[in-house]
Structure 1
Amino acid sequence: MFRHTKHLQFEAKPEKPDALYAMKLQELIGGAFGEMTVTMQYLFQGWNCRMEGKYKDLIMDVATEEIGHVEMLATMVARLLEGAPDDVTAEAVKDPAVAAVVGGMNPQHAIVGGGGPVLADSAGTPWNGKYIVASGNLMADFRANVAAEAQGRLQTARLYHMTDDPGVKAMLKFNLARDTYHQNLWLAAIQQLQEDGVEGPVVPSDLFDEENQEHAGTLWHLSDGTESDQGVWASGPAPDGRHTFEFLADPAALGGPASGPAPKPTQYVTSHADASGKPKQPPQAKGPGERIKDAFQ
């Protein structure tokens, strides 16, 4: 079960309202890498975890913390929207400079949220459950978590430089620190999975004998760039300890032309042949007499 405590994990008090910045801050709530995404991602990873113990407990700890981050940001957005839009705002926008700022606000804050936050990103696009990754494989999921936290911290850092409000900056400093910890946490958890022998570097740790070994370690040089062979990924042992890297400077195509099968005549696809492979015969128009004859038949 979940129990809500009526205190924010960290304070969320802006020095003054700023409707335009409230719209920008929506990205950290409902964006693809926002707090709603990591909240639901970690919750479903925890619920999907089939192994009781430290890994599931860890996931649920962080998932529950992320719910609090959504609450912090939602509270901050509501406080940034204080007094906007209302009669005071309508009067204020008579000043061209103020109108330019207020004009950039998200109208859904007023129309949908009643002066509060909405579950959407900074462009007003609704949050989507397809953003989350919860596969049941901890190695795959933890790697997705590192990426999500990295993108979230990147966006938080950019937003940090978009405001001079001390109250907003104080909260974002806290968020930056938690994103730092969470990146390190998931990186450490990835290492722990390997040390515990639960998962290997390659997901899933299976079908190595069935895969085509000839192509399990080769970098195909397929661009005009000239330095892709200058990294550790181009030669030597692979991180999984089972494969060896190799650089193919001039790889050859292994398949034939990328042509689909002949279409059915009723699909009206432009082609030179019908479904049987024979030259396509266009439908012939029939005269009135033939159409009457066909109808009686």
Structure 2
Amino acid sequence: MFRHQKELQFEVKVERPDPLFARQVQEVLGGQFGEMTVMMQYLFQGFNCRGEEKYKDMLMDIGTEEIGHVEMLCALISQLMDGASPEDQEAAAKDPVTAAIMGGINPQHLLVSGLGGLPTNSNGVPWNGNYIVASGNLLADMRSNLHAESQGRLQVARLYHMTKDEGVRATLRKMLARDRYHQYQWMAAIQELEEKNGVVVPATFPGEAEMEAQPEAYKFWDLSEGNESSEGLWATGSAQDGSGDFVYVADPVPQGQVYKPEIPPTNIHHDLDAVKVPLKK
């Protein structure tokens, strides 16, 4: 059960209208790494969680917080649009550099949402459920969550430097702080799960089951020009689970055969055999 509370998690109060910035904020609302994505990702992971109750409870806690962040961003976008007439919005887009980069204001804020937030990114592309990851494997999902929070915080930080509105910045600072905590949180969960089950996903498919392929688990293949990649721990160190040492392969050669596919039947219409079928009179 969910219950809505009227107060926002943190204060949202802008100093002046800025329709162009409202369009930019749409990215962290309905973009690939926006608040709608992490909201749905954490909630679906929580809904489907079959592991220890503490993981489900944590996922539901953070997923529900992200619902509040979606509401905050909608409030932020609305305030950035408030008091800005269509004429004012056109004037704000007269700077040719801004207009060229941003394409002006988002017309959907006028035509579709009535000066409110939208479930779209900054270019008006609708939010997509394929953005979320909810695999049922806790370690795989927690790593995906860390990635999502890393990308999301990066985008909010970039937005922070795109405005001088101190009210907007105050809101973004709170969101940046929460995104920082969420990175800590997922790193702590990842560490705990790795200590339980090992660092490789899925733990239920052990390396020993790979049999003759086991040596391939430690080789770094240099497949691009230059050999700078040989200097990294991925080429010179040891596997994180202590099961073996990495090997740098400077000049790898193919180990498979030249594949020659069979020509398909004529009725598949690939026209590979170049046989022309005469027309009947």
Q: 1:286 to 1:167 in 2, by over 3 A?
A: closer
Q: 1:51 to 1:265 in 2, by over 3 A?
A: same
The match for 2:268 is 267
The match for 1:89 is 86
Instruction: Find out whether 1:230 has 2:224 as its counterpart.
Output: no
Deviation at 1:256, TM superposition (A): 2.3
The match for 2:116 is 116
Instruction: Find out whether 1:210 has 2:209 as its counterpart.
Output: yes
Query: Separation in 1 of the partners of 2:73 and 2:274?
Result: 65
Deviation at 1:81, TM superposition (A): 0.9
Query: Separation in 2 of the partners of 1:149 and 1:125?
Result: 21
How many residue pairs match? The answer is 272
Query: Separation in 2 of the partners of 1:286 and 1:154?
Result: 63
Contact 1:83 1:89 in 2 (8 A): no
Q: Which protein has the larger Cα radius of gyration, Structure 1 or Structure 2?
A: 1
- Cα deviations across residues 87-129 of structure 1 (Å, max 9, x unaligned)? x433x46xx7445279711111111111111100001000001
Gaps of 5+ in 1: 272-279, 289-297
More helix by share: 2
Q: 1:162 to 1:249 in 2, by over 3 A?
A: same
Deviation at 1:193, TM superposition (A): 1.5
- Cα deviations across residues 162-194 of structure 1 (Å, max 9, x unaligned)? 101111000001111111111111111111113
The match for 2:7 is 7
- Cα deviations across residues 187-222 of structure 1 (Å, max 9, x unaligned)? 111111133x1x320000124222110211111111
- Between stretches 46-55 and 217-226, larger displacement belongs to 46-55
Contact 1:133 1:144 in 2 (8 A): yes
Instruction: Find out whether 1:19 has 2:30 as its counterpart.
Output: no
Q: Alignment partner of 1:250: what SS?
A: coil
Q: 1:287 to 1:70 in 2, by over 3 A?
A: closer
The match for 2:243 is 242
- Cα deviations across residues 207-248 of structure 1 (Å, max 9, x unaligned)? 422211021111111110211111111134200222321111
Gaps of 5+ in 2: none
Deviation at 1:68, TM superposition (A): 0.6
Contact 1:221 1:249 in 2 (8 A): yes
The match for 1:100 is 94
Query: Separation in 2 of the partners of 1:69 and 1:286?
Result: 66
Listed as ranges, the matches of 1:139-288 within 5 Å are 139-195=139-195, 197=196, 199-205=197-203, 206-211=205-210, 212-271=213-272, 280=273, 282-285=275-278, 288=281
- Cα deviations across residues 234-270 of structure 1 (Å, max 9, x unaligned)? 1342002223211111111112235433132233325
Instruction: Give the TM-score taking structure 2 as reference length.
Output: 0.91
Query: Separation in 1 of the partners of 2:177 and 2:46?
Result: 23
- Cα deviations across residues 102-158 of structure 1 (Å, max 9, x unaligned)? 971111111111111110000100000100011111110111111111100110010
Q: 1:58 to 1:98 in 2, by over 3 A?
A: closer
Q: 1:116 to 1:286 in 2, by over 3 A?
A: closer
Query: Separation in 1 of the partners of 2:11 and 2:180?
Result: 19
Q: Alignment partner of 1:210: what SS?
A: helix
List structure 1 segments (4+ residues) > 4 angstroms apart after TM superposition: none
AA aligned opposite 2:176 = L
Q: Which one has more relative contact order, counting CA pairs under 8 Å at least 6 apart?
A: 2
Contact 2:227 2:250 in 1 (8 A): no
- Between stretches 38-47 and 257-266, larger displacement belongs to 257-266
Query: Separation in 2 of the partners of 1:17 and 1:107?
Result: 16
Query: Separation in 2 of the partners of 1:208 and 1:74?
Result: 48
